[in-house]
Structure 1
Amino acid sequence: MHAIAASSEPVHILRLPSDPGSVAAAREHVEVLCRKFGLDAFAPVQVVSELAGNAVEHAGMSGGLEVWVSIDPSYMWIEVVDFAPEFVPVLDTIEEPGEEQERGRGLLIARMLAERIEALVLDDRKALCACFPVSL
């Protein structure tokens, strides 16, 4: 997919099945890349965890998911791609759930930790994309 950060190289792609264990694999993928490039991993790892968890939960068994990471001298882009384009969250209207709710904070957390978060739909897939400033 890599539609947002098309000019950034290299792109590191991890393909995963759509099951809960893939969330940990997505976190590890991003953490390893952050270490490799000397970047603070906290926010990117938290955000990919939330985005991958949502992809597993909401996209179900519709073809797995992919984690695309690109890093250039100014930004790190993380894109979590799934094959269920019919479920696209409206990112501009994310509200904090009530205190009694145990779930529903993932996209709010992602929006707070990333500099920018976007949803992109292309035919049979969608990507939730998060951007983080870096200085290499």
Structure 2
Amino acid sequence: MSPYAVLIRAAKFEPVPTVVRAVRRFIEKCCLEVGINPDTPVVLASELATNAIRHAGTPFKVTFVALEGRPVWIEVEDGSLELPRPRAAGPDDLGGRGFELIEALAAKWHTDRDLSKGNKIVCVTLKGDEEDGSGDGNHVDTACTEGQLTASAGQSDLHRGSFPRAVAGPWSA
């Protein structure tokens, strides 16, 4: 059975901290349109947008995708090829806990890099309702560009899942 698009929305943002509030409002509106609680999606999108601003420093696009019978996913695409590198945060560190939060709240996450375009997409899949089958992992296993439901051929570098906790790097939350 083909998935039916319930809602696919995308918005572009400038890399300034004040737009995180607009990202949260955008995701909240999308969630309310499809009838899901916006609390977790708003937190996840806020974290990804903050990372795009802090570490990529380029304009970025946030895409919300809801397909019938599949878990909702959120993508943040920025103009950097630098992959996220979660790190272990110390008890007094002000940052470094973003991907712990993402791993706790999302069903799964992954990144795609398009080397030909010089960008990357970080995608989080929301936890679904186990009773309706939307949490059974049937998400398209790669991030999609706006208007697509499958990955483009140019997305040649893909990473999914969990990074080791002790890895340090500049793309830490």
- For the aligned pair, the TM-score class normalised by the smaller chain equals 0.7 to 0.9
Residue 147 (structure 2) aligns with? none
Identify, as 1 or 2, the structure richer in helix.
1
- TM-score, structure 2 length as denominator? 0.66
Identity of aligned residues (%): 27
The SS at the match of 1:115 is: strand
Aligned counterpart in structure 1 of residue 80 of structure 2, from 66, 78, 84: 84
Aligned counterpart in structure 2 of residue 126 of structure 1, from 107, 120, 123: 120
- Which string of whole-angstrom CA distances, capped at 9 and with x for unpartnered residues, describes residues 89-108 of structure 1? 24xxx454110111111122
- Which string of whole-angstrom CA distances, capped at 9 and with x for unpartnered residues, describes residues 59-104 of structure 1? 11x3x0000111012211100010011x2024xxx45411011111
TM-aligned CA deviation for residue 41 of structure 1: 1.0
Residue 31 (structure 2) aligns with? 34
Structure 2: which 5+ runs fail to align?
A: 135-173
TM-aligned CA deviation for residue 11 of structure 1: 2.0
What RMSD over aligned residues (CA atoms) do the two structures have, in Å?
1.8
- Distance in structure 1 (CA, Å) of the matches to 2:114 and 2:76: 13
The SS at the match of 1:75 is: coil
Is the CA contact 2:87–2:96 (under 8 Å) kept in the aligned structure 1?
A: no
